[in-house]
Structure 1
Amino acid sequence: MAAQKISAVKGMNDIAPPVSAHWEWLEEHLRSLMRGYGYRNLRTPIVEPTALFVRGLGEVTDIVEKEMYSFEDRLNGEQLTLRPENTAGVVRAVVESNMLYEGGKRLYYMGPMFRHERPQRGRYRQFHQFGAEALGFAGPDVDAELIVMANDLWGKLGLQGIALEINSLGQPEERMAHRQALIAHLEANIDTLDEEARRRLHSNPLRILDTKNPAMQALVNAAPRLMDFLGEASLAHFNRLRDLLDAHGIEYTINPRLVRGMDYYNLSVFEFVTTQLGAQGTVCAGGRYDGLIEQIGGKPAPAVGWALGMERILELLKEQNLLPEVAGPDVYAVVPDVASVPMVMPVLRALRQAGVAVQMHAGSLEGMGSMKSQFKKADASGARFALIFGADELAQGQVALKPLRGDRTQEPAAQSLLPLIGVAEWAPVLLAA
């Protein structure tokens, strides 16, 4: 009786070739961007103490209340959580290793995050984020640097139709004054609030401003604006950020309803949004979180960062036909005779050491398969050349070179059977465009 097939967890997807090549291509663009701005890679665990996210994100946030994958370690009873985001983990790592002792740090990360929500286009239960975090820097120049950096990425990728929205959340005492005014406004219109808004009314009223309920839009539009409660220092920070974005020629819209889903943000917040991905319009978001380092147990220090969703960026690249063709190997080695394999493999290894990507046809003890089937696989591999190690060619110290792309004719290429002698000389030919 055949074993029952085991499938992946709903909302947690395999990423297989050739799609995985697009991920590698995007990851290299991101790494290159980080190198250009002096950001260095930090890798944190996928599993963190549950308390890190409860304390860092806020007990009444949607993530903590409804979306985290939390469990008890059955060996020691510790409460653990699969990370739903990584800013809190970055801050924990920075505090734990006293990383800011010698000054500010510019860091980046990439990897899987986990949230239990309804899977949909560009939004999965295991999703992947790339994030940039600048810790220990107080000025709006670093806020601007991060926004310019993300904007540079869209240019490098060729993406169009991504709009920047910015806002300021001010400082805690300013948000508290606004919060009281907001609650009073909402309570005066309690009959208009939906069930979710009523639940959040006293726990997290700022999130009500982000509602998508059409019946509440007029009420939300008439609500007190946080911007009107900002003090002189908060306004100066925000206006300086605007000046720096203007100096870079970066267009933006001030969205007074822009809030973030985590409690740790203050001052600058921003989102890059698109209309081409349906309801999942945010492709990159971030802001300043000056209080989080102290909240997680470190010495008070400012910080700012952003994160982008890899799946959403790849979806947008696909939508705009910007994904590259997946490259095959430079060469596919056709080996008609299984007895020739011991002679062929050192030659292919020498080619690889010379920088040529080589895929060898794999057979069995009985044989390597027909020439027709091998050429069919060579063509399907995407290789630009086939190297044919026929018995006659090998007897003469040669191998046949056949272009698989274009209309060039088959031609012999001299081959020495001595290791690495003459083999490396093929490399310029095989690597030529």
Structure 2
Amino acid sequence: MAIQAPEGTRDLLPDEALFWTRFKDTAAEVFGRYGYVLVETPVIEQTELFVRGIGEATDVVSKEMFTAVSGENLKRLLDGGAIKAKSRLSLRPEGTAGVVRAVVQHDLVPQGAAPAKLMYAGPMFRAERPQKGRQRQFNQVGVECLGAEAPSIDAEAIIMLMRFFEKVGIPASSMELLVNSMGCEKCRPAYRDLVRAYMDEHADELCETCMTRAAVNPLRAFDCKNEQCAAVMAGAPKITDHLCDDCREHYAAVRELLDGAGVPYVEEPKLVRGLDYYTRTVFEVQVVDGLGSQNAIGGGGRYDKLAEEVGGRPTPGLGFALGYERCLMALEAAGVELPRAQRCDLFVACVDDSVRASAFGLVQACRDAGIVCEMDHQGRSLKSQFKLADKLGAARVAVLGPDELAEGACTLRDMAAHEEARVKLADVPEEMHRVFL
């Protein structure tokens, strides 16, 4: 049996690979208008970064991270030894922690500096059970803004995210934006205690995982996909009823800015996202139809304490990530077709082998002029070359035979109109530019 891609991964074949490139380019274009610039961080980081940054109690850290072990360290483990902390490495399950680590390590936000606005795009890895909308290797595009705590940064990011989804082709009518505030270190501990007490009162109605979370971070229970747990947690205290004055004012300011920008949203008090580093504003965009239970296509929030968690100075931050594969599913559900990777403006067909060298030269001249050009490299008959040109979607075919070559010309055929004209070889690039470019 032939070797196949690992379970939970998939190949991006040419059409989709082209769309992924355009997807990233669109993100760079839209986010660039807001001052975001590209950064690339390693796909592998010290495991401690994710433990401290994301939170040990999260499913991402406790269940889903892929740990990378070198052959030498594997042997050390099998022999009963230990691995040094710096050698404990994991494939990144998300992008924020690595970007914040880079900001701290390279001091990209020195005292008094303007915020660092960064964007990234690339693969993430989680050891999840593969299903529709969930893979073990998936692609994300995200942004991080470090060094600004004003609510206008929160609103700006949310608006930017919605502008991107619209630009990439997801209908606004098919999306729903959810917003919430998770409070801060002043008001969240008391709220967490309220939720824990509520969960203890309903312990016999909640799953074992939720009760385990109750001891470490009870807010994680709001993420439980068990229908009974979700129904129980729907009656839990709402964080928006327990915000401190500063958080309440911040949340109100974000909503006021969104209202002013005409961005519709739904307040969802149970929205906590899946990671421990969030503070204050959190948001998520869901698709109404077409994705089933995995309907979130993007989201994020504020993380004002994350830089300190990874060893930096206090630096407020905010970011979001959007899933490429889920966006693709949303586009397919909306009937949007992917662009074709294969394109051919001109196919040069040889009547016989005597003209191949001249045909090869014409192909190169056209390519140098910016024309997508192909020719046969397998000795096909002229009839078969026309079939190949049609398969490639060639708009024009330049037929070159001994008679044409003697005149220093070719027969240029319009494949759609079935019209032909004699064109000098030297004029073919100009003629193609006149028609197409």
- Normalised by the shorter chain, which TM-score bucket? over 0.9
Name the amino acid aligned to 1:106: K
- Is 1:350 aligned with 2:365? yes
SS of equivalent residue, structure 1 residue 269: strand
- 1:408: Cα distance to partner? 4.2
Query: What CA RMSD, in Å, does the superposition of the two structures yield over aligned residues?
Result: 1.7
SS of equivalent residue, structure 2 residue 215: coil
- Is 1:412 aligned with 2:422? yes
Name the amino acid aligned to 1:41: L
Tell me: CA distance 1:44–1:413, structure 2 relative to 1, closer, same or farther (3 Å).
same
Q: Distance in 2 between matches of 1:243 and 1:171?
A: 20
- Is 1:188 aligned with 2:198? no
Q: Identity over the aligned pairs, expressed in percent?
A: 38
**Residue of 349, 355, 358 corresponding to 1:334:** 349
- Is 1:425 aligned with 2:391? no
Q: Deviations over 1:150-177 (max 9, x none)?
A: 1112222332211100000010231110
- Is 1:399 aligned with 2:399? no
**Residue of 99, 102, 115 corresponding to 1:93:** 102
Choose 252-261 or 354-363, whichever is displaced more.
354-363
Q: Deviations over 1:381-409 (max 9, x none)?
A: 122112222232122111221122x3241
Q: Distance in 1 between matches of 2:400 and 2:33?
A: 45
Tell me: CA distance 1:426–1:235, structure 2 relative to 1, closer, same or farther (3 Å).
same
Aligned residues: 419
Aligned 1:21-420 pairs, distance under 5 A: 21-75=18-72, 77=83, 78-101=87-110, 102-160=113-171, 161-276=174-289, 277-326=291-340, 328-363=343-378, 368-404=379-415, 406-416=416-426
SS of equivalent residue, structure 1 residue 227: helix
Q: Distance in 2 between matches of 1:195 and 1:105?
A: 42
Q: Distance in 1 between matches of 2:235 and 2:355?
A: 80
SS of equivalent residue, structure 1 residue 121: coil
Tell me: CA distance 1:361–1:280, structure 2 relative to 1, closer, same or farther (3 Å).
same
Alignment check: 8 A CA contact 1:22 1:323 kept? no
- 1:75: Cα distance to partner? 4.4
Alignment check: 8 A CA contact 2:28 2:37 kept? no
- Please give the TM-score of this superposition, normalised by the length of structure 2: 0.92
Tell me: CA distance 1:430–1:24, structure 2 relative to 1, closer, same or farther (3 Å).
farther
Tell me: CA distance 1:335–1:25, structure 2 relative to 1, closer, same or farther (3 Å).
farther
SS of equivalent residue, structure 1 residue 116: coil
Alignment check: 8 A CA contact 1:356 1:430 kept? no
Could you list the runs of 5+ residues in structure 2 that have no partner in the other structure?
A: 74-82
Q: Distance in 2 between matches of 1:334 and 1:315?
A: 40
Name the amino acid aligned to 2:25: E
Alignment check: 8 A CA contact 1:56 1:292 kept? yes
Name the amino acid aligned to 2:26: H
Could you list the runs of 5+ residues in structure 1 that have no partner in the other structure?
A: 417-421
Alignment check: 8 A CA contact 1:157 1:322 kept? no
Q: Distance in 2 between matches of 1:86 and 1:352?
A: 39
Q: Deviations over 1:44-91 (max 9, x none)?
A: 111111111111111111011111110323346511111111100111
